Amino acid sequence: MNESLLRELVPAVIGVLVRRGADFAAAEDAVQEALIRALGAWPDDPPRDPKGWLVAAAWRKFLDATRAETSRRGRELAVDREPPPGPATTADDSLWLYFLCAHPSLPPGSAVALTLRAVGGLTTRQIAAAHLVPEATMAQRISRAKRQLAGLPLDRPGDPATVLRVLYLVFNEGYGGDVDLAAEALRLTRQLAAVTDDPEVAGLLALMLLHHARRASRTGAAGRLVPLAEQDRSRWDTGLIAEGVGILQGALARDRLGEYQAQAAIAALHADAPSTGETDWVQIVEWYDELLKINDSPVVRLNRAVAVGEADGPQAGLAALSTVDPGLPRHTAVHAYLLERAGDLGRAADLYAEAAHAAASAAERDHLTREAARVRVRINEL
């Protein structure tokens, strides 16, 4: 059973049903029922046209539900829309479905969750883990979003800013989670960039390319995290870096700076440096200052504190970190790093261990545990 194929087909099949008149919630439910049938039937009898099979099965499920709840006239109208036999259309509805899920009636958080489920193909458990909330909470959020869309005319475009946010979240989940969606997020962002002249879309595409270029070097043996300073830069994809930098330069020339362009500029400076020590940290701090003018978020301030520590020394970094909420994820790990650079090894080791205990993933926990052990070895060698 090719589960990645099923995941790729989900948005297209939902799109077909919605275009035929099904509301979003009913379409998504019908497609989930069709997927269950596919998991049982396909291993023994794989279809020649997987998309057509899913469309037919999901449409039948939708009609069954419609017959149970609507009048005879409504049923006849639905049956009249059933397509003739034959291969399913090859149109790509994924990008259209992104905008549909970013419907103006939905708050951004709900739009993100719904899109990750319906278009990204993530399970409710995976979406909950990405948002650091219980699975039951995320299930309720997704169900509430589907109820909000039920019966609404899905003819208004979604919020472009929400679509970009969702694309970036899908990319990051694909990069670090157990479902590889980075390539799909890149494909859709390229598609969006091809049909719009928005420099922020180009900025997001550049940011993805620059991050994706470092993918092969981010993990080592047994999936261990490799921090930026220790990555083998010869494994970075120079073709993707060149493409990302070129797209970024074109976007910046439009003189309409947005947060994705600023983040891409920071990523480009990292990609251009032969080593951590040769990185232009002063310019990176300047870009973080620009980013704060656009999005004054705790995460941006946390990352800026690291850059300040590299540009102006660990004490300056610790001063910048003191203005950031200590309850923020990664705050403790950053604090430990800056303390180690400042020479306070005892506190650094304790904080690395504390950060490991609170880590959200096994890989991160393993990395921080090793950092704590490494610093304790340094203490014993003094």
Strand partners of residue 219: 225
68 by Cβ neighbours in 10 Å (0-12 / 13-18 / 19+) ranks as exposed
- Per the document, the length of the chain is 382
Q: Which two tokens stand for residue 103?
A: 């419907």
Integer CA distances (angstroms), 233 to 113, 176, 218, 226, 264, in order: 35, 19, 10, 12, 18
**Residue found by looking up tokens 């990523």 in the block:** 267
DSSP reduced 3-state for 225: strand
Distances 169 to 10, 127, 162, 177, 265 between C-alpha atoms, Å:
18, 10, 10, 11, 19
Q: Cα separation of 332 and 339, whole Å? A: 10
Residue-wise pLDDT tens digits, 146-166: 888 876 666 666 778 888 988
Contact 34, 54 (CB under 8 A): yes
Q: Is residue 80 within 8 Å of residue 177, measured between CB atoms?
A: no
Between CA 316 and CA 213 the distance in angstroms is 31
Phi then psi dihedrals of residue 123, to 5 deg? -80, 165
| Residue 355, CA distances (Å) to 54, 304, 335, 352 in order | 45, 19, 10, 5
d(C-alpha 163, C-alpha 186), whole Å = 13
Q: Which residues contact 275 (CB under 8 A, 6 or more apart)?
A: 233
Angstrom distance (rounded) from CA 46 to CA 42: 4
- Output the pLDDT for position 171: 86
pLDDT < 50: residue spans in the chain: 71-91
Question: Angle at which helices 94-101 and 160-176 pack, to 10 degrees?
Answer: 120
Question: Two tokens at 45?
Answer: 């009898």
| CB of 190 closer than 8 Å to CB of 205 | yes
Instruction: Determine which helix (DSSP H) or strand (DSSP E) holds 354, and give its type and residue range.
Output: helix 345-357
CA distance 214 to 264: 13
* 305, 320 Cβ separation under 8 angstroms: yes
Q: What is the pLDDT of residue 99?
A: 81
Backbone Cα Rg of the chain: 24
**Are 322 and 309 spatial neighbours (Cβ–Cβ below 8 Å)?**
no
CB neighbour list of residue 64: distance below 8 Å, 6 or more residues apart: none
Tens-digit pLDDT profile for residues 233-281? 999 999 999 999 999 999 999 999 999 999 999 999 999 999 999 999 9
257-278 per-residue burial string, b: 16 or more CB within 10 A, e: under 16: bbbbbbbbbbbbbbbebeeeee
Return the residue matching tokens 């039948």.
60
